[in-house]
Amino acid sequence: MHLVGPNGIGKSSLIRILAGLLRPSPTGYGKGSGTSTAGSVHWNGNVGLLDGHMALDPQLPLANALAFWSRIDRGTPPFARLGLDGLEDVPVRLLSTGQKKRAAFARLLGQNSNHWLLDEPLNGLDDAGVSLVEELIAEKRSGGGVVVVASHQPIAMPSAQILDLRKHPY
């Protein structure tokens, strides 16, 4: 599914609700206690989240930062496929925006999640990076995984449902 709509309409919030990080307010935006269990999402399998929070220690070299998560996730990030070869010894804080996004995808792939929630996954990527992300999404979908993408940018996801949040009252 591709979530679309202008800034501030709730795409990122919806992604966070789907990830179980936020609870929906029972009475609408800014109202109520936000403690409702209505709208809880139960996934069949595990879910990986890629958003603006990379969760990699900026002081560590990239390989070490990803190795920390590899020990937890028991997956190996594909450096070569993501164009990260040669950057293993570079501290995360010194990576370019696009390299950081690719590193975030390395972390996501290392999780071996059944389903993905992607919030603005194309930000900072060049054309080759965009093509790679579209390819990764197609692979995840062809393997039976659910992929929910919130993005302002056009993204190739053939036969994906588009949910325009401007057309839904809240």
Confirm whether 12 is domain-assigned: yes
Confirm whether 31 is domain-assigned: no
Main-chain phi, psi angles of 104, to 5 degrees: -65, -40
CA–centroid distance for 57 within its chain:
18
Confirm whether 58 is domain-assigned: yes
pLDDT tens for each residue of 146-169: 999 999 889 999 999 999 988 876
pLDDT value at residue 28:
55
pLDDT at 50 over 50: yes
pLDDT tens for each residue of 10-47: 899 999 999 999 988 765 555 444 454 555 678 899 99
CA–centroid distance for 80 within its chain:
20
Q: Are 152 and 16 in contact (CB under 8 A)?
A: no
Confirm whether 8 is domain-assigned: yes
Q: What is the CATH number of the domain that holds 89?
A: 3.40.50.300
**11: burial class by Cβ within 10 Å (0-12, 13-18, 19+)?**
buried
Confirm whether 25 is domain-assigned: no
Confirm whether 32 is domain-assigned: no
pLDDT tens for each residue of 97-108: 999 999 999 999
| pTM of the predicted model over 0.85 | yes
- The closest alpha carbon to 82, from 27, 30, 37, 121, belongs to 121
pLDDT tens for each residue of 64-78: 999 999 999 888 888
* Total domains, the chain: 1
Structural domain containing residue 145:
2-20+44-167
